[in-house]
């Protein structure tokens, strides 16, 4: 009996949400939170990677929204290095702009050295006040470096100075971040690695340091547009996204899930949960018949926010339970060492 209890306890330790020393920020999608092992962890570095139009910025925005809801006294910061962040659009999604620090216009984050100074200042302030914080860098690819900025066009550094600075910065700050309640989210855009026949055909700027120091690396892929027709006019109203956890130091790696991002709304959490339960054959757990799914998903649009949240909470509880059951079924049935 004692051995069986130890094996069960070991299985439980695979799930980060069982560990009391972890605090998570929800991604806004129950399925993605399950795939990540509980969400985005405070005190860690997270890298969100994807091609264009894969909702990287939207996912980071939802993380900030959920952070503010979970930590009313916390400090969220967003650094838009691409000069492309639409604040009105983010506000329509539910982001409280007054709560977010968008940086000092007199000290813009243009180079990786600027980012190093800015983030270290943000981190030190959180340590002084003993408060939680989330810092989003959108994106690493848009940052230059001091060496490149001081040279003429055509005499670039080929990213070597940028990669070296990122390596030094992360090496200096990774343990400091770990001892705080600060979540650092770095957004990266993939680029085709021309001439590669074997191995990974995609890369991102900033060197290999982020691969090493990030606790979670999440890859997003665009599966296609969602379209609907109103009065004989057809328009895309969202996109289908596939997310895959390529690295996870606080949960199980290699997990993936699909979700829909609706323009001006955000992730359709409840719809993604129901579709997944249908896929794994567990709709009976939420009292929805296989033939009723299409009608059920249509009815979501007419629900009030209160009714939607009530139903989402009910379905999410079942999704987490079923996900856990599936994960446990794949784990070893016995311990290697008695």
Distance CA 173, CA 168 (A): 9
Determine the pLDDT at residue 1: 45
Determine the pLDDT at residue 9: 52
Determine the pLDDT at residue 161: 81
For 222, residues 6+ apart whose C-beta sits below 8 A from its C-beta are 50, 51, 52, 53, 54, 239, 240, 241
On whether residue 48 sits in a domain, the answer given is yes
Determine the pLDDT at residue 206: 73
Which residues share a beta bridge with 235?
228
Domains: count for the chain:
1
- What does the pLDDT look like over 186-235, one tens digit per residue? 999 987 665 555 556 566 777 889 999 999 999 999 999 999 999 999 99
- Please check the confidence at residue 149 and state whether its pLDDT lies above 70: yes
Determine the pLDDT at residue 197: 54
On whether residue 154 sits in a domain, the answer given is yes
Helical (H) or strand (E) element with 57: helix 56-70
Domain that holds residue 104: 20-268
On whether residue 63 sits in a domain, the answer given is yes
Q: Is 7 exposed, middle or buried (0-12, 13-18, 19+ CB in 10 A)?
A: middle
Q: What is the pTM of this model?
A: 0.92
- What does the pLDDT look like over 229-270, one tens digit per residue? 999 999 999 999 999 999 999 999 999 999 999 999 999 999
Mean of the per-residue pLDDT values of the chain: 89
Distance CA 18, CA 252 (A): 13
- Please check the confidence at residue 115 and state whether its pLDDT lies above 70: yes
On whether residue 283 sits in a domain, the answer given is no
On whether residue 208 sits in a domain, the answer given is yes
Q: Which two tokens stand for residue 182?
A: 């600060």
On whether residue 311 sits in a domain, the answer given is no
CATH of the domain at 202: 3.40.50.300
């Amino acid at each position: 009996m004692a051995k069986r209890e130890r094996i069960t306890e070991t299985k439980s330790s695979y799930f980060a949400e069982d560990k009391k020393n972890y605090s998570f920020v929800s991604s806004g999608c129950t399925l993605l939170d399950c795939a990540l092992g509980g969400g985005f962890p405070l005190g860690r570095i997270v890298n969100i990677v994807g091609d264009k139009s894969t909702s990287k910025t939207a996912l980071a925005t939802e993380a900030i929204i959920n952070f503010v809801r979970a930590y009313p006294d916390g400090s969220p910061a967003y650094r838009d290095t691409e000069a492309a962040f639409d604040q009105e659009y983010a506000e329509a999604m539910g982001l409280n702009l007054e709560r977010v620090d968008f940086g000092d216009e007199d000290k813009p984050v243009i180079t990786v050295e600027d980012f190093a100074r800015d983030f270290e200042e943000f981190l030190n302030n959180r340590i002084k006040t003993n408060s939680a914080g989330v810092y989003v860098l959108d994106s690493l690819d848009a940052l230059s470096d001091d060496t490149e900025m001081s040279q003429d066009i055509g005499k670039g550094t080929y990213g070597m100075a940028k990669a070296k600075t990122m390596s030094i910065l992360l090496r200096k700050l990774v343990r400091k971040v770990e001892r705080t309640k600060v979540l650092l989210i770095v957004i990266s855009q993939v680029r085709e690695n021309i001439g590669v026949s074997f191995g990974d055909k995609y890369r991102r700027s900033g060197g290999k340091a982020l691969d090493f120091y990030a606790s979670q690396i999440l890859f997003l892929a665009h599966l296609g547009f969602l379209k609907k027709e109103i009065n004989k006019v057809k328009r895309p109203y969202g996109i289908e996204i596939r997310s895959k956890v390529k690295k996870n130091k606080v949960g199980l790696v290699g997990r993936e899930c699909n979700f829909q991002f609706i323009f001006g709304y955000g992730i359709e959490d409840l719809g993604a949960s129901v579709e997944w339960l249908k896929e794994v054959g567990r709709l009976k757990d939420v009292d929805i018949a296989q033939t009723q799914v299409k009608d059920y998903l249509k009815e979501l649009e007419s629900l009030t926010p209160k009714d939607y949240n009530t139903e989402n909470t009910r379905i999410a509880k079942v999704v987490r339970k079923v996900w856990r059951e599936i994960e446990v079924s794949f784990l070893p049935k016995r311990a290697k060492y008695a």
